[in-house]
Amino acid sequence: MKRVFAMGCILLGLVSVVRAQKVEFKNPSELSKPNGYSHVVIVNQGRLIFISGQTGMDKDGKMADGFAAQAKQAFTNLKVALAGVGAKPTDIVKINYLVVGLNHEKLVALREARDSIIDREHPPASTLAGVEALFRDDAQIEIEAEAVIP
């Protein structure tokens, strides 16, 4: 019985190691130290999910007032989209941000909203771009993401 229990523990340990290696987050030392993102994410196995750009608009089509509120709503929408396919924010491996009139104040608000949902120990790779306009005059942010369910 002890041998079976020990073998079971070893197998559980191996499964955990295999699971942990399905997605790897890397930051080569030859690149600058990232602030809230990873330079490289390696996906070794799993279901790849692409999520269209999410904005500060609620399910009724009402746009949130102000950039911080729109960023928070966009991340809420992202979480809902992920949940709809059985994923969670920690499954995100890549995020692209489009921000109208990007400045330091908006960057701080964006990081605050982002940090409320991502795995800060293994943040996704990301790209942030300042843009002139989005699909509506009152839209200030759009966030698209890729996730992997291991």
Count of residues making up the chain? 150
107-128: per-residue pLDDT in tens? 999 999 999 999 889 899 999 9
The residue among 19 and 88 whose pLDDT is bigger is: 88
* CA distances from residue 26 to 72, 91, 124, 139 in whole angstroms, order as listed: 27, 15, 10, 33
Could you say which architecture CATH assigns to the domain 2-149?
A: 2-Layer Sandwich (3.30)
Cα gap 150→145, rounded to integer Å: 16
Give the pLDDT band (50/70/90) at residue 140.
Answer: very high
Cβ contacts of residue 14 below 8 Å, gap of 6+?
none
Cα gap 61→142, rounded to integer Å: 14
Check residue 12 and give its pLDDT: 44
Check residue 73 and give its pLDDT: 98
60-102: per-residue pLDDT in tens? 999 999 999 999 999 999 999 999 999 999 999 999 999 999 9
Residue ranges of the domains in the chain?
A: 2-149
Is the pLDDT reported for residue 47 higher than 80? yes
Check residue 69 and give its pLDDT: 98
What is the percent of the chain with per-residue pLDDT over 70, rounded to a whole number?
86
Is the pLDDT reported for residue 1 higher than 80? no
